Structure 1
Amino acid sequence: MASQEQKFLSALKSIFVGAKIEGQSGYVNLMHIKGKYFESIFPILLQDINVKLAGYPDFREEMFEKLYFFFSRYFNQTGSIYFNYTPLYQNIYDKVYDPNRDVILFWKTHMLYYVKSEAIYKSMKVELEGINFFFDASQIENKKNNERRDLIYEFSKVAVIDQKAAIILSVNYSQRGRVTKVDDILKALKKEDFRNVTEEILEQSFLIFKKQSEVDFFINKNAKEFLREQFDLYLYQYMFKEINQFDEKRIKQLQSIKEIAYNIISFISQFEDELVKIWNKPKFPLNSNYVITLDRLPKELVDKLIKHSGIKEQIAEWKELGLIKDSFKPKEIIADQNTLDEKSFLKKKFKFLPVDTKYFKDLELEILSLFDNLDDSLDGTLIHSENYQALNTLKRKYRSTVKTIYIDPPFNLDSSDQFLYRTNYKDANWATLLENRISIAKDFLSEDGSIFVRCDYNGNYLIRFLFDTILGKENFRNEIVLRRAEETKGDLNKQFRDMKSMTVNYDNVYWYSKNGSTRFTKIVKPTTDKQKAAHWHSFWKSFDRKNMRYEILGVNLEKGQWMWESDRGLAAVKNYKDYLEESQHTNETLEEYWLRKDCKLEFVTKEGEGISSIKYWIPPREFVLADTNWLDIKGYANTTDFKTENSELLLQRIFSNINQDGDLVFDFFMGSATTQAVAQKLGRKWLGIEMGEHFFTVVLPRMKKVVAGVQSGISKETDYKGGGFFKYYSLEQYEDTLQKVSYKEDELLIFNENKTAYEQYIFMRDDKLTDKAIKINGKDTTVRVTLNKLYPNIDVAETLSLKTGKKIKRITAEEVEFNDGSKESLTNPNYHLLKEFIWWQ
């Protein structure tokens, strides 16, 4: 039987390195790095343990038993450090009690960065009805982020495994809509004489393979502080139970176990802290392109585009978007004299065709040179990225610039099967995901900015607690009730005799401001047919302000109040008397008189007796003051076939009331890009982040159609015709960095002899990304940046803009100029500006 020491040391390596997985990913590289690190520092740790226990040999087994008991409860399968069946699991209220706050939200992953949840797929054998399958997961490219991706299976070969013929199926994640071609697999199997394999058997084998354990990937924000705090609590509880067994020897033994535990914690924390640095390092913008409509370009450039080799691919895209007919020829873009559009050289129906510079990279700089202030000339920017990393990278450039944030985060549901993105989060994971992101996003808001977040009953109780904590209770404005859709004609409840619960047909939109003292213009919504017509209404109100009581038309008040103060009310009485006199000669209706007087007059009269006899006139109107009941509009739409596409009417109501032309709006759970589409149509600037593959299949096509002037949503109502200029790019991701990062594999961990391995930053000697990004001249030690070896298509200008927080004014082949007049080289960028992208400490 293994000793407690062997058990602990084995477990320590297991929980530190994490579960072994197959495939190709940054996580696999991470496990390799962790393993090397463990092997290097483990002997140092053992030596220190032996020194500490030299005087207490009989305490050795007991100490290792207690260390195992403590540490094994703070790790999951990925090596993430957090509450995981902890010794104090039932006593956790001791930790979260706060005398300054009567209610506090606690969840077990609150001290973490949530990276993703993913099944760790391992190659496995499956036997069904006498048929042997072997699923090969060795080449699976694991997910970069928390995007929802389906598995696809392909027939590889037939091979003998355990003396039996087996069907080898390779497994990978789907990309750009790829699916498993079951028919192709069945055809290949028939050729291999596996004629008894049916589609049903094949699908069943897929389900068996897919049911592998899913694990959560976290990074502890401060592993050392967290684990030391937890160990102190554990040791205190243990000491309390043994209060009558203390002597000097026992106290020294407990002191030794604390010192050893602290060293182990420091040992573990070194690597966890390194992961925090990688997670939080700014990420490189990659594969940047611009989309600009033809009306923004001069004729000389349009002529070049028409003659360019990339025009074929561009035309193919226009056809796919439904913007042109199959018979379209490039020369049709240029107008003849009879079809000129207000002296334009473009045919009217083609003036808003969107040009994507990915087809014309050699002309991109010429297009960008048309603008004196490039960033200010853009209508918006789309970013393909996991949103925490994007927020963390964008925070300098967009700090305090956003007027309105609208987000519709993935609801906390049981399943993701119906959606293009992940929704089946655990409560703690979902809370951590939002807390991580909102904590950064709040700093994007201007002082008079607001954030709106949509949620349903699955998570609204968490939203209130989280946002009250992060933004402050004083900044809560309203909880708006929103209708999901029309009456659910296909409601399942109609099909059965009884029901479990009623159908839910509403969501909540929570409105918070950045600053509690900010005042907003009155929020209005369209009138109903009944509200549109002019009518008289009671001038008496049940509020009880004494200064609003006065005699009017012979009526005095003892309780309640009038609608307006006395000067305004009495003036309205006179206005109505004047109308009565004039109308005897003009025969005008009150509404005609009001229109002739520039719609500025107010009227009060008396009809009957008592306080209710005093009436004021409500003129014809298109809008009324809104309250929190927004059940008059649908919350969802279906113009893109995206499952949870937000209604453009919803975003129009928010933006029309909360921000103005040119204000910046932001959605970092972009989904189908409704926020960006509405912003474009209303003349707002916009910014959007989305990590899913539907960025390319839904978001980009939609925004290209929007600037092309395709009429949908609120286009007709807002008289939006088209035209626009925007940028899109991808960001380097955490997984990308893990795949490329370089750590030395030698034995020299300690470089500072005055500090132990637990006290110093032991990764100071490591290259990280510098070996791929810079070259040092051996003669004069000058540094030259060579970013193309790191990633082939880094947008250096945008990288420098994100680093400095400065907007781009102009870009040339050699340099970028910022809005403050400063310039930076693009051919040999300043290493010091790029340092935090490629090396951290």
Structure 2
Amino acid sequence: MPFLDWVNKSRAKEATRAVPYHLLQQEGAFGEPADNLLIQGDNLLALKALIPFYAGRVKCIFIDPPYNTQSAFEHYDDKLEHSQWLSMMYPRLVVLRDLLSEDGSIWVTIDDNEAHYLKVLMDEVFGRRRFIANCVWQKRYARDNNAAIGSSHDHLLVYATNQDQFRTSRNLVEIDDKTRAAYRNANNDPKGPWRLVPMNGAGLRPNQQYPIRTPSGKTIYPPEGRHWSVLEDKFKALVAEGRVSFGKNADSAPGLIRYISEVQGLVPWSWWPHDEVGNNDQAKKEIHELFGTANAFDTPKPERLIQRILHIATSPGDLILDSFLGSGTTAAVAHKMGRRYIGIEMGEHARTHCLPRLQKVINGEQGGISAAVGWQGGGGFRFCTLGDPAFDDHGRISADVKFATLAAYVWHFETGEPGHQAFDKPLLGVHNGTAYYLLFNGILGDRRPAGGNVLTHAVLKAINEVFPHGGPKVVYGEMSRLGASRLAAEGVTFKQVPYDIKMR
């Protein structure tokens, strides 16, 4: 597979590993208690802070990164030299990949300035076999008469952790008016409108190339190089049920009568016209209704576009992530659609746009998709900023780090799994037969310097009595007072805090 190269690519790769872990600091909670997060801060730092808690748990990621269009925006510096743009995107895509669930997908909007480079970059980060589609969104419907060739679309690159799982779990889209009009009921069939579907498919299947005798007495075979779509016994059963038509003269190739009542939806395709999912003009109108023209965001996406993505890729209760949140559209739509979400925005408009927009959603604002989904308000979210690094340059742990936070880091480092359980005791859990323990912050109730954070004979006895485990144990603590022979006899591997906590 070819790889994309650019100036300072090696530095961009190293940046992924060198990103420090920061603490999230809650600034406020709005509405009903909820796990939804709005985070203000550099999105690379924020994404790294989420890893120990959300790795492998995000069902759908949507991002609308700066397009590198060599133009100036009020809320973004979108004028990045090409290699700088790639260096900005690479580490973020790597961390986003680690957050995706096994059946998750990532959707990225981009225009022609960087779309083809981004495709190759995402092939490298996610793997080419995980590419699903390049959907084309018609963002404009009016022609630009001043352009050599007017640009009417953006790209929407879609990748999935597992193509097969995505194919089986993705949702169908609603039947559109054009498709619905193809179903008619000229014969007043009591089952409702119907249309004929050809009953042959490409390829040679000997057991599906039988002769068919029409009601007029004509014998028909499949077209050259094709086969009938069902086995002969199934075909005869469909004829007996009145589900096969041979045309007005009863001597045409058979067609399956399919009723519109049997069609649950349509398989999504890669052309997304503006009348189905909105356009730039509609997006601006939605923003103007929310904030007025003076405080409008420059490059919003219409709520219907995000609704289509979340409908295809997720179900109610799934976790959504947008690390280029912009004016807050993804979070607002996810909220209205009953999805959980994490939105990250670096700029001050995290407070001036995203925060008030989500408060309006809680209060039941009726713009965008509200009427379509029956939104009446409710729910809640927490607003956080980035706090201090969890570890300094010398590996020392920040004084603000609590037991549960460090426990999530340790658990993720050892197992690769997110720390979503409640860490409130020394035993963090058992993984592949090994039990993991953390002695930190006086979790045993003994906060003396040489007390419960140190592995002593008494502490080991307490662990074995209160949190027994018959297999191997890994114990993290400030220090061990036990010799190597005693540790080996107890099946204990001791690791020192903070020096043995090498963050992933």
Please give the TM-score of this superposition, normalised by the length of structure 1. 0.44
2:188 corresponding residue in structure 1: none
Q: Deviations over 1:160-197 (max 9, x none)?
A: xxxxxxxxxxxxxxxxxxxxxxxxxxxxxxxxxxxxxx
Match of 1:706 in 2: 361
Residue in structure 2 matched with residue 288 of structure 1 by the alignment: 27
Per-residue deviation, 1:656 = 1.8
Distance 1:285 1:616, change over 3 A: same
Q: What is the match of residue 549 of structure 1?
A: 209
Contact 1:801/1:807 (8 A) holds in 2: no
Mapping 1:93-172, distance limit 5 Å:
101=1, 103-113=2-12
Q: 1:528 to 1:429 in 2, by over 3 A?
A: same
- Report the 3-state secondary structure (helix = DSSP H, G, I; strand = E; otherwise coil) of the residue aligned with 1:288: strand
Q: Does 1:531 align with 2:270?
A: no
State the SS of the aligned residue for 1:732: strand
Instruction: Pick from 262, 270, 278 the counterpart of residue 628 of structure 1.
Output: 270
Q: Which residue of 2 aligns with 1:307?
A: none
User: Which residue of 2 is the match for residue 388 of structure 1?
Assistant: 44
1:562 to 2:461 alignment: no
Conserved? CA contact 2:21–2:45, under 8 Å: yes
Does residue 806 of the first structure (1) align with residue 419 of the second (2)?
A: yes
Identify the structure with bigger relative contact order (alpha carbons < 8 Å, sequence gap 6+): 2
Residue by residue, what CA displacement relative to the aligned partner does 1:631-685 show, whole Å, maximum 9, x if unpaired? 2422541323322222222222222222222221111111122222222222222
What is the identity percentage for the equivalent residue pairs of Structure 1 and Structure 2?
26
Which residue, out of 237, 245, 257, partners 1:617?
257
Bigger mean CA offset, 462-471 vs 646-655: 646-655
Residue of structure 2 equivalent to 1:436: 91
Work out whether residues 539 and 614 of structure 1, in 8 Å CA contact, stay in contact via their aligned partners in 2.
yes
Distance in 2 between residues matched to 1:569 and 1:684, nearest whole Å: 43
Alignment check: 8 A CA contact 2:327 2:353 kept: yes
1:507 partner SS: strand
**Could you say what the CA RMSD is over the residues aligned between the two structures, in angstroms?**
3.8
1:609 Cα offset (Å)? 5.7
Matches within 5 A, 1:42-57: none
> Measured at CA, do residues 383 and 628 of structure 1 come closer, stay the same or move farther in structure 2, by a change above 3 Å?
same
Deviations 1:461-499 (A, max 9, x none): 1111111111111111111111114425xx4x2xxxxx4
Partner of 1:62: none
Q: What is the correspondence of 1:512-661 to structure 2 with a 5 Å cutoff?
A: 512-521=159-168, 523-532=171-180, 533=183, 534-541=193-200, 543-546=202-205, 547-554=207-214, 555-559=220-224, 560-576=226-242, 603-608=243-248, 612-620=252-260, 623-631=265-273, 632-636=276-280, 637-638=283-284, 639-640=286-287, 641-661=296-316
Change (3 A) 1:398 1:562: same
Quote how far apart the aligned CAs of 1:809 are.
4.4
* Cα distance change on mapping 1:660 and 1:566 into 2, 3 Å: farther
The Cα of 1:801 is off from its aligned counterpart by 6.4
- After TM superposition, give the deviation of residue 105 of structure 1 in Å: 1.2
> For 1:726, what is the secondary structure of its paired residue?
strand
Equivalent of residue 149 in structure 2, options 477, 502, 508: 502
| SS of equivalent to 2:241 | helix
Contact preservation (8 Å) 2:303, 2:333:
yes
Query: Do the aligned partners of residues 476 and 839 (structure 1) sit closer, same or farther apart at CA in structure 2, a change above 3 Å counting?
Result: closer
Q: Which residue of 1 aligns with 2:187?
A: none
Evaluate the alpha carbon distance shift between residue 538 and residue 292 of structure 1 in structure 2; reply closer, same or farther with a 3 A threshold.
Answer: closer
Give the total of aligned pairs. Answer: 409
Query: Partner residue of 2:481?
Result: none
Question: Partner letter of residue 549 of structure 1?
Answer: Q
CA deviation after TM superposition for structure 1 residue 769, in Å: 7.5
Is the CA contact 1:800–1:834 (under 8 Å) kept in the aligned structure 2? Answer: no
Change (3 A) 1:673 1:826: farther
Asked if 2 retains the 8 angstrom alpha-carbon contact of 1:402 and 1:664, the reply is yes
Matches within 5 A, 1:683-722: 683-722=338-377
Amino acid at match of 2:6: W
Q: Where does the alignment leave 5 or more consecutive residues of structure 1 unmatched? A: 1-100, 114-219, 223-275, 297-377, 494-498, 577-602, 742-762, 774-784, 788-794
Counterpart amino acid of residue 111 in structure 1: S
1:835 is displaced (CA, Å) by 4.6
Query: Which protein has the larger Cα radius of gyration, Structure 1 or Structure 2?
Result: 1
Distance 1:686 1:801, change over 3 A: farther
Q: Please state how far the C-alpha of 1:107 moved relative to its aligned partner.
A: 0.2
- Counterpart CA distance in 2 for 1:710 and 1:834 is 49
Which stretch shifts more, 402-411 or 510-519? 510-519
- Secondary structure of the 1:625 match is coil
Query: Do residues 406 (structure 1) and 62 (structure 2) align?
Result: yes
CA contact (8 A) 2:407 2:438 kept: no
Indicate conservation of the 8 Å contact 1:817/1:823, yes or no: no
Deviation for aligned residue 1:618: 2.9
1:671 and 1:654 map into 2 onto residues whose CA distance is 17
Aligned partner of residue 148 in structure 2, secondary structure: coil
Shift of 1:284: 2.4
Task: Tell me the alpha carbon deviations over residues 14-72 of structure 1, each in whole angstroms, 9 at most, x when there is no partner.
Answer: xxxxxxxxxxxxxxxxxxxxxxxxxxxxxxxxxxxxxxxxxxxxxxxxxxxxxxxxxxx
Distance (Å, rounded) in 2 between the aligned partners of 1:611 and 1:731? 73
Tell me the CA shift for residue 506 of structure 1. Answer: 0.4
Q: How do residues 742-781 of structure 1 correspond to structure 2 at under 5 angstroms?
A: none
Matched, 1:221 2:28: no
Structure 2 letter corresponding to 1:291 = F
**Given that residues 450 and 511 in structure 1 are in contact (C-alpha distance below 8 angstroms), is that contact kept between their aligned partners in structure 2?**
yes
Q: 3-state DSSP class of the match of 2:330? A: helix
CA–CA separation in structure 2 for the residues paired with 1:421 and 1:409: 10
Structure 2: how far apart are the matches of 1:505 and 1:444? 32
SS for the counterpart of 1:112 is helix
Question: Does the Cα contact within 8 Å between 1:662 and 1:684 map onto a contact in 2?
Answer: yes
The alpha-carbon distance between structure 1 residues 284 and 528, as it changes in their structure 2 partners (threshold 3 A), is closer
Is the contact made by 2:9 and 2:87 (CA closer than 8 Å) also made in structure 1? yes
Contact 2:26 2:382 in 1 (8 A): no
Q: 1:634 to 1:622 in 2, by over 3 A?
A: farther
* Alignment map for 1:17-28 (pairs within 5 Å): none
1:712 Cα offset (Å): 2.1
| Superposed displacement of residue 457, structure 1 | 0.1
| Mapped pair 1:397 → 2:53 | yes
Change (3 A) 1:769 1:447: closer
Equivalent-residue separation in structure 1 for 2:428 and 2:364 (angstroms): 32
Change (3 A) 1:634 1:623: same
Give how far 1:439 is off: 1.3
TM-score (norm 2): 0.71
Q: Which amino acid is the alignment partner of residue 239 of structure 2?
A: V
Deviation at 1:686, TM superposition (A): 1.2
3-state secondary structure, aligned to 1:723: coil
Cα pair distance change 1:520/1:435, threshold 3 Å: same
Q: Verify the 8 A CA contact 2:212 2:221 in the aligned structure 1.
A: yes
